[in-house]
Structure 1
Amino acid sequence: MYDTAGDQSPTGPGLFLATPGAFFAGAEISQADLQQVLVHLVENDLIEPIGTDFATVAITTQGVSCALRGTDTEAPTALSARLTAVLGRYPDHLTEDDLQRAVDSRIPESVDLAWKKDFYQGTDAGKKELAKDVSAMANTAGGVIVIGIDDGKQDYAHALAPADPAPGRGEEWIRSVLANWIQPVVPDVGVRPVKSAVYEGKVYWVLSVPPSTQAPHAVAAPGNDYNFRVYARYGTTTRTLAASEIAAGEWGSSGGATQQDRKSAHAGAAPYEARGLRQDYACDDRLPFHSHEDGMADVFYATHKPSGTPVVLKQLHGKHPASAKKARMAREIQVGRSLSDHPHAMPVWDADPNNTWFVMPVAQATATECLDELKDPSVLRALVNSLCSVLSAAHEAPESGFPHGWVHRDIKPSNVLRLDGRWVLADWGIARRPPGQTTHPQRTRVGVSMGSEGFAAPELSIDAHSAGPPADVYSLGQLIGWAITGRNPQQNVPLLPDSGPWRAVVREATRMDPGRRPATVRVFLDLIAQEIDTPPVPPVVQAEALHDSLNAGAANAPEQLVVLAAAYPDDAALYCDVLLNIDPEALIPALMADPPRALEIVRAMPELLGTHRPTERGEVDAVILWLFTVARHAANTGQLDLLEESCNGAFTWDALWDQWTPQDKIRPWLRTLTGDAAGSVAGALRDHPDCARHFSSLANELRVDHRIRAAVSPLRRVRPEPPDHRRNGYA
């Protein structure tokens, strides 16, 4: 490799890539094509990264192999190499021309490549589908999802299908969904729009999903505790993994974590044999990195000596700790183990049978250390959703008849940790047991305060024993206030943000009276959704806006209206209040260009009439004439399915209401029909005899197609009585 055609001295690949007009073996080559060459050489074992200080490239005289030395250029991964070879360009650099070549070459889907025609809907179902697709790819082998390519239901690139940008559903929306619907979050997902040069104003989306070392990633609606699913790619499809497969680590081939590592990361089991022996652990430097404020215990970085695994060890003070301290640690161990399957609970890996110490995995940071990161609304939302998820599981009553389960009572930034890309809640030492399971009635006495100043609910300083889930909701509110303002809260003083949608959330969560707060974290999540989420724009409102755009001359408004109407075939207001008020001629080009959606619309129109208000003759007229317009153009273009469906809808309502105005327009049209169109319409008339009789005058017009005349003939509708063979002497 050389930096110019004339200068034959070797150069570093980093410089080579940065040099305008680069050459490869004396021939000019683009950066993208050079990347493809490098990928090809790596994939075919023709170059070898060696890792010296300075990068050089030597090519043998035979031109068969070479040695890439140094670290200036990172060798492409096997994933990017395979996809680059398939797509003709590095996945993160794909252009519309590359996508067109994929269509021309009919490139098939695979375990690491998915084509999607339509962008994800803004509904919960759409968010779940997005999370499902990304998590399945991360759980398997990583890959690329390209949105805007129609696979023709044949699992290969069939046609370009870019879409108009969905309002409020761009990169930020995608990342928010992935952060809130996948546990743990899939790191480093690439999200890139590709503008279309062929279809003005439309875009494709390319999602690059790396193979994960934190799998399995589960999909669940925010706050929906245990109701999660784990997905994996299987060929060109996505399937749900059974519990046994998850437990055995049997998914995909991401090549990162081992099966035992994956199982441990999700299920809370130690990646080694936990024997409950203190001698298995060596504490670093014999000095704690954290001491509890009450002096009860110290926390050490430690190592599991048999395996060399780094851990965190929490240990009570003294050789003979008081029974009250041991009981508190026993509580923390018990809750940690009961929630060990939950991805947002700090797992307990090992513990002393006598409850004097226990071991946890090493977290990367506390919420306190991530305060700057929490200024990002999507990160804060992910933290709150994670905490609500684990609290919902903990608060759940152990059996019917109990008002609630465990209550944490000490939620604060230092007890919220970042573990392997997900938020976890730790330190359940002062948790309130489910009512009826109290082990020591005098341990929590009236008038003795509990919790951390500023974050503790007011009732925890009066009667902590009676505190329920609203106490944790209060702490969540103060935690949100802390994250937004950056200030520590004062005791019994709500830490309200100065402005913004979170202010109302914090205000409701931190009411002094627990009876006025959200009663459960589920209700709290509903409050957050109400205040934070932008409500979806009703389809009828979208349609009205598009109607205005149509009247203003927007070229793409008809197509957008057709797409919208086909997506909501059960929305009577959209059809009867907006679509019927639009001249159907304005929509005909878009309808004729998209037969599947046109069929959806003409099926829905007659079915929705009268479903949201009493039917009126004027509206019946409008529906019949609207469908007649579509039928007329379908006949002219030979779209027989659309013609028959339009006639069926129009004739159904004409049979019921005998509408003269539409009949006066349909009758002359029937006289003009010939060929396949006449056959299709005659069939529809035969299926609706009460409508056909309204056109019986055509039966005697010899210039009318004979099939139409037969369909409307009064004689056809007279059913002869079956012959009575007995009258003729037959038995």
Structure 2
Amino acid sequence: MQPIESTAELKRLYRLDAKPRGSGGFADVTRAVHKIEGTEVAIKRAKHFPEAGDRIKREILAQSKLAHPHIMPIWDHDPAFFWYAMPLADGNLFEARNQLGEEDLASILLDLADALALAHKHDLIHRDVSPSNILGLPGATAGRLRWVVADWGMVRVSPESVSRVLTRTGQRMGTPGYDAPELDDDPSRATAAVDVYSLGRVAAWFLTRRDPRAGVELLPDGEWLHWRPFVRACTEQNVHMRIPDMDGLRELLQGVFEHRDDPPSERAARLLEALLSGDEESLTELISLAESYREDTVVFLDYLAQVPSGKTKAWTGRNPDRAASIARSMAAHLLRSSWGDRDVQYAATPLTFVLTILRGLVEMHSFGLAQDVAGVYFEADVKWDQVSQRTRTLEWLADLSDTAVGAVHPELARRPAVVEYYRELGWHPRSVALRNLLAS
């Protein structure tokens, strides 16, 4: 139970409204007026159970470390940490959406990224950024709000600085749809990438006007297509493929308006030309562009496919998860997209791109990822029936060790048409299993 003296001190200092303005899992928020100064404030009070009190205490201690114009300040608090006073907000981002445009969104995201970067430097991860927790305070300019990150009750602090663990493995954390998927595994190990994900989902919600759902991709389209690379990079389900911190988020955000009027295919053409002229950074941008526009056949088949194999293999070694994903997308275009007026012999170029990644994954012993790619690659190879590519594939298969064969053999064996395509008289692979499957 909350100590009587804490409640008594609160009522001595403030005149509280009869009913709360909001209520969460751990606390209520009530409008109040300071009896001496006459200042309007919001009072956040812990509910009457132990964990609520612990959460409020942690929130007060964390926020008090963070002096930043875009982090909700704490003006006053109970010495026993059961309540605190903060400025009274003029609403939240959810309520203000219809009065704001994309330039406002970009400005808000930059401001909040600065604020969260400061928190991350203190080893504080918010873990619950959502439109309802982004509050508007009166700004220096009349009619404009200063947006702040509020509600730090779910903050993850440095393990060395706490005496009691509040977050348990499997405990629900964050706002559904805005919470990063890795929070379901172990929220106590959350990194800055968790808050990156949430800001990305805030952008997706703002632009699409649709509430995000857990585990379901939400990307802008149509008039907001230029935001798509930013949102995708921030909201990758796989944390290893996501922008890792606020520095990366801010850098990517700067490019949103720079490329607003550029068709993806034209950007891809420029990036490929720059890469072939020696600009190594262009490869990262080209792959990110392809990841953002996975349905764009031209980006994949006409430009990404032409990345030299040596550069593709080196990039795969640094980014195996992303490489496997992009290879599957390339193979899918080969299987389902219209070929148009391209020379049929050109099919060997995107096929080689996929095979290069597949070989790289096997050499890294990333056998699970290799298996994910192998099946769609074999099907695409069969579809296009390029003699030179079939020869390259068989040469690669012949050299595989028994360990590596375990990744590709199941994908071959369950595709009779693929087995027939690769069946070769007098073929002598290292693997007995492949010899029995494919050798005539």
Give CA-to-partner distance per residue, 1:495-548, whole Å, 9 cap, x none.
21124111111111111111211111011111112333359xxxxxxxxxxxxx
**Cα pair distance change 1:390/1:490, threshold 3 Å:** same
> Hey, what's the Cα distance between the residues in 2 that align with 1:366 and 1:414?
6
Give the one of 428, 434, 451 matched to 2:152.
428
TM-score (norm 2): 0.54
Instruction: Tell me which residue corresponds to 1:440.
Output: 164
Whichever residue aligns with residue 436 of structure 1, its letter is: E
Give the one of 391, 394, 415 matched to 2:116.
391
Give CA-to-partner distance per residue, 1:634-684, whole Å, 9 cap, x none.
xxxxxxxxxxxxxxxxxxxxxxxxxxxxxxxxxxxxxxxxxxxxxxxxxxx
- Aligned residue for 2:188, secondary structure, equals helix
Give CA-to-partner distance per residue, 1:16-44, whole Å, 9 cap, x none.
xxxxxxxxxxxxxxxxxxxxxxxxxxxxx
> Hey, what's the Cα distance between the residues in 2 that align with 1:409 and 1:526?
22
Instruction: Tell me which residue corresponds to 2:289.
Output: none
Whichever residue aligns with residue 137 of structure 2, its letter is: L
> Hey, what's the Cα distance between the residues in 2 that align with 1:528 and 1:382?
10
Whichever residue aligns with residue 354 of structure 1, its letter is: A
Shift of 1:373: 2.5
> Hey, what's the Cα distance between the residues in 2 that align with 1:491 and 1:512?
10
Instruction: Tell me which residue corresponds to 2:181.
Output: 458
Instruction: Tell me which residue corresponds to 1:411.
Output: 129
Give CA-to-partner distance per residue, 1:357-379, whole Å, 9 cap, x none.
111111112101110123x1210
Residue 330, structure 1, aligned to residue 57, structure 2: yes
> Hey, what's the Cα distance between the residues in 1 that align with 2:106 and 2:73?
23
**Cα pair distance change 1:435/1:513, threshold 3 Å:** farther
Residue 520, structure 1, aligned to residue 262, structure 2: no
> Hey, what's the Cα distance between the residues in 1 that align with 2:65 and 2:10?
21
Instruction: Tell me which residue corresponds to 1:306.
Output: 36
Whichever residue aligns with residue 163 of structure 2, its letter is: T
> Hey, what's the Cα distance between the residues in 2 that align with 1:279 and 1:453?
38
Between 1:363-372 and 1:408-417, the stretch displaced more is 363-372
> Hey, what's the Cα distance between the residues in 2 that align with 1:485 and 1:379?
15
Question: Is the CA contact 1:288–1:299 (under 8 Å) kept in the aligned structure 2?
Answer: yes
Shift of 1:487: 1.1
Give CA-to-partner distance per residue, 1:577-615, whole Å, 9 cap, x none.
xxxxxxxxxxxxxxxxxxxxxxxxxxxxxxxxxxxxxxx
> Hey, what's the Cα distance between the residues in 2 that align with 1:326 and 1:452?
20
**Cα pair distance change 1:471/1:394, threshold 3 Å:** same
Shift of 1:435: 4.1
Instruction: Tell me which residue corresponds to 2:428.
Output: none
- Aligned residue for 1:359, secondary structure, equals strand
Shift of 1:449: 2.1
Give the one of 12, 19, 24 matched to 1:279.
12
**Cα pair distance change 1:433/1:382, threshold 3 Å:** same
Whichever residue aligns with residue 288 of structure 1, its letter is: P
Question: Is the CA contact 1:457–1:474 (under 8 Å) kept in the aligned structure 2?
Answer: yes
Give CA-to-partner distance per residue, 1:88-107, whole Å, 9 cap, x none.
xxxxxxxxxxxxxxxxxxxx
**Cα pair distance change 1:438/1:493, threshold 3 Å:** farther
Whichever residue aligns with residue 280 of structure 1, its letter is: L
Instruction: Tell me which residue corresponds to 1:122.
Output: none
Instruction: Tell me which residue corresponds to 1:290.
Output: 22
Instruction: Tell me which residue corresponds to 1:347.
Output: 73
> Hey, what's the Cα distance between the residues in 2 that align with 1:333 and 1:525?
28
Give the one of 201, 206, 218 matched to 1:478.
201
> Hey, what's the Cα distance between the residues in 2 that align with 1:276 and 1:512?
47
Instruction: Tell me which residue corresponds to 1:95.
Output: none
Instruction: Tell me which residue corresponds to 1:696.
Output: none
Shift of 1:440: 2.0
Whichever residue aligns with residue 59 of structure 2, its letter is: E
- Aligned residue for 1:326, secondary structure, equals helix
Residue 366, structure 1, aligned to residue 92, structure 2: yes
- Aligned residue for 1:531, secondary structure, equals coil
Shift of 1:335: 2.0
> Hey, what's the Cα distance between the residues in 1 that align with 2:230 and 2:177?
17
Give the one of 228, 237, 242 matched to 1:503.
228
After the TM superposition, which residues 220-299 of structure 1 pair with which residues of structure 2 at under 5 Å, given as runs?
Answer: 277-284=10-17, 286-292=18-24, 294=25, 296-299=26-29
- Aligned residue for 1:532, secondary structure, equals coil
Instruction: Tell me which residue corresponds to 1:55.
Output: none
Instruction: Tell me which residue corresponds to 2:190.
Output: 467
- Aligned residue for 1:365, secondary structure, equals coil
Question: Is the CA contact 1:478–1:494 (under 8 Å) kept in the aligned structure 2?
Answer: no
> Hey, what's the Cα distance between the residues in 2 that align with 1:430 and 1:277?
24
Whichever residue aligns with residue 475 of structure 1, its letter is: S
> Hey, what's the Cα distance between the residues in 2 that align with 1:407 and 1:278?
33
Question: Is the CA contact 1:315–1:357 (under 8 Å) kept in the aligned structure 2?
Answer: yes
Whichever residue aligns with residue 20 of structure 2, its letter is: P
> Hey, what's the Cα distance between the residues in 2 that align with 1:465 and 1:532?
36
Question: Is the CA contact 2:33–2:40 (under 8 Å) kept in the aligned structure 1?
Answer: yes
Shift of 1:324: 1.7
Instruction: Tell me which residue corresponds to 1:182.
Output: none
Question: Is the CA contact 1:481–1:497 (under 8 Å) kept in the aligned structure 2?
Answer: yes
> Hey, what's the Cα distance between the residues in 2 that align with 1:477 and 1:324?
30
> Hey, what's the Cα distance between the residues in 2 that align with 1:505 and 1:332?
30
**Cα pair distance change 1:532/1:435, threshold 3 Å:** farther
Shift of 1:383: 0.7
Question: Is the CA contact 2:182–2:190 (under 8 Å) kept in the aligned structure 1?
Answer: yes
> Hey, what's the Cα distance between the residues in 2 that align with 1:276 and 1:406?
30
Question: Is the CA contact 2:106–2:253 (under 8 Å) kept in the aligned structure 1?
Answer: no
Question: Is the CA contact 2:226–2:259 (under 8 Å) kept in the aligned structure 1?
Answer: no
Structure 2 residues without counterparts, runs of 5 or longer: 1-7, 140-145, 261-440
After the TM superposition, which residues 36-115 of structure 1 pair with which residues of structure 2 at under 5 Å, given as runs?
Answer: none
> Hey, what's the Cα distance between the residues in 2 that align with 1:488 and 1:279?
42
Question: Is the CA contact 1:492–1:512 (under 8 Å) kept in the aligned structure 2?
Answer: yes
Whichever residue aligns with residue 45 of structure 2, its letter is: Q
- Aligned residue for 1:501, secondary structure, equals helix
> Hey, what's the Cα distance between the residues in 2 that align with 1:304 and 1:493?
45
TM-score (norm 1): 0.33
Question: Is the CA contact 1:373–1:379 (under 8 Å) kept in the aligned structure 2?
Answer: no
Q: Greater relative contact order (Cα 8 A, min sep 6): structure 1 or 2?
A: 2
> Hey, what's the Cα distance between the residues in 1 that align with 2:258 and 2:75?
38
Instruction: Tell me which residue corresponds to 1:212.
Output: none
**Cα pair distance change 1:431/1:276, threshold 3 Å:** farther
Structural RMSD (CA) = 1.8
Whichever residue aligns with residue 445 of structure 1, its letter is: R
Question: Is the CA contact 1:496–1:506 (under 8 Å) kept in the aligned structure 2?
Answer: yes
Greater helix percent: which structure?
2
Question: Is the CA contact 1:276–1:350 (under 8 Å) kept in the aligned structure 2?
Answer: no
> Hey, what's the Cα distance between the residues in 2 that align with 1:343 and 1:452?
24
Give CA-to-partner distance per residue, 1:29-73, whole Å, 9 cap, x none.
xxxxxxxxxxxxxxxxxxxxxxxxxxxxxxxxxxxxxxxxxxxxx
Identity of aligned residues (%): 38
**Cα pair distance change 1:438/1:512, threshold 3 Å:** farther
